[in-house]
Structure 1
Amino acid sequence: MYPSAPTPGQYGETVFPPDQAGEDERIDFGALAYDDITVARLRELGAGPGWNCLDVGAGTGSVARRLLGELGVARVLAVDRDVRFLAARPRPGLDVLETDISAPGLAPGRFDLVHARFVLMHLPTREQLIARLGELLVPGGVLVLSDAIDLTSEAAPASPYSRAVRAMWQGLRDTIGTDVTWTPRYPQLLHGIGLASVAAEIHVPPLFPGSPISRFWAGTWDRARATMTATGLVDDADVDAAIRYLDSPGCAALSPGMITAWGRRPPAGRGT
């Protein structure tokens, strides 16, 4: 039996409430920035016809739908704490489950692919969850985890943009526990749960006026304004200046990027 539907107020709902107008558009801008990279990696790892897949924190379902469409997998179970955007875009082969992936007792099946993107960085029990997600794989199945990685904000010259990035991470950590400092450990963590063929890559999408990632950050900072200013690292004028900079021809900053790590459950009877 699945756990009951999640209660509101945890994780991103406190800063990015799903019922706020335009939240699905903000999520989709992030998808436009990263989906091609994600889908290419899943294809390279063998996702295709016959595969049964779990997409954790599926958001608006962009990856789930591309798994079913472009890659031709058999089924995708899309899990999220709030499934209004998934329910609004149904398609054959897509099953939707509204629940908290960290809830005790959740056992949604066995999968050829378990994928989670921009999820674990928000959860305090991330290491236990990585082990749990690995247990959901069939022998030979692959676990693919992606999260944010920030390579530059601590070393970048002081500017409204760099202050906004620092204030965002600090504000999200203060309010919902987001932490991206540990994400470079993904390969070691996947090795640690017994997965084989572990590897990782980093993608940093370019910032330029009107690009999906620029529009994603602009929407994110506007919604997280109160959280960011509460840190004391920025004020409203700094946030406004950072958003304007994203749309300026002189924008020369490096966006926070995405680290993706993966590993495969060894076939039955074989070790790593």
Structure 2
Amino acid sequence: MTHPEHGGAARPDAHDDGRYGEDVFPPGQAGEDDRIDLGALAYDETTLARLTHLGAGPGWRCLDIGAGTGTVARGLLHRAGVRSVLAVDRDVRFLAARPTPGLTALEADVTDPAFDPGRFDLVHARFVLMHLPGHEELIGRLSGLLTPGGVLVLGDAIDLTTATAPPNPYTRVMGAMWQGLRDTIGTDISWVPRYPALLRRAGLASVGAEIHVPPLLPGSPVSRFWAETWDRARDAILATGQVDGAAIDEAKAYLDSDDCAALSAGMITAWGRRAGGRDRAPR
């Protein structure tokens, strides 16, 4: 969100015109699919439990936005038994590498006003909108892709390394990471707690939300995910001037030690249902 003006001070409401997957976390970088899968190991159980509880199951046509390596899409097919999943990403190389019956990969940009792939019983996006501008308008457009009675489920990060959190190597680097991503690609999680209100404003009913915080334990998927994320975002983190390379290395060692006593970023999952259609009570 901040970047130096030409010859001036930082402006708090501006960021460089970078994009996720281009300026940071490019899919062509070796090991990026493994990093994404570590995040999936940390969060998929919670996501799939919520989707199935909301009714996702046989007969449902689903849209998974920012599908990454396709773990949620395949989980919907194999575990929930949905009819089909359209998995959308701006780069579908990881989806194409793991073809699955019932899963169709679509290379598209959800921010394109012309994006209109059809109508679905479930529209899901996780860790996507936090990286995009115009989130309120986008939520409205995604709700318009629902069939009557369909459900929109959105997940994003909530930062728990606040000013009141005990300072440690992890919290220092996490704070610099969020600032660096904001400066570089516009990542903004400050609005994420407003998800329930934004879903209601989009005209959806039966709105709910929950937060999952996976434990930071040595060698755990989420701890390895953050270490890999810091490595790939190192330039953006260092550019903030808040930490140096030694601090990043110290934080990685801290995550892998028994001394680690910190809260990972939480994932909020929020949902709302479009009115009409047949009864689709949660299972």
Give TM-score, length-normalised by structure 1: 0.94
Which one-letter code corresponds to 2:168 in the other structure? S
**Cα offset for 1:104?**
1.8
**2:91 paired with 1:82:** yes
Distance 2:191 2:131 in 1: 11
Which residue pairs with 2:75 in the alignment? 66
Which one-letter code corresponds to 1:80 in the other structure? D
Contact 1:199-1:261 at 8 Å conserved across structures:
yes
Which residue pairs with 1:204 in the alignment? 213
Which residue pairs with 1:4 in the alignment? none
Contact 1:154-1:166 at 8 Å conserved across structures:
no
User: Alignment partner of 2:62: what SS?
Assistant: strand
User: Structure 1 residue runs of 4+, over 4 Å off?
Assistant: none
Distance 1:154 1:168 in 2: 15
1:54-98 deviation digits (Å, cap 9, x = unpaired): 000000000000100010000000000110000000011000000
Distance 1:154 1:15 in 2: 26
Distance 2:216 2:167 in 1: 18
**2:109 paired with 1:100:** yes
**Cα offset for 1:108?**
0.1
**2:150 paired with 1:172:** no
Gaps of 5+ in 2: 1-17, 278-283
Q: Tell me how many residue pairs correspond in the alignment.
A: 260
Contact 2:161-2:174 at 8 Å conserved across structures:
no
RMSD over equivalenced CA pairs, Å: 0.9
Distance 2:180 2:115 in 1: 30
Distance 1:91 1:103 in 2: 27
**Cα offset for 1:151?**
2.4
Which residue pairs with 2:139 in the alignment? 130
Contact 1:81-1:100 at 8 Å conserved across structures:
yes
Gaps of 5+ in 1: 1-8
1:10-47 deviation digits (Å, cap 9, x = unpaired): 22321111111100000000000000000000010000
Distance 1:155 1:207 in 2: 19
Give TM-score, length-normalised by structure 2: 0.90
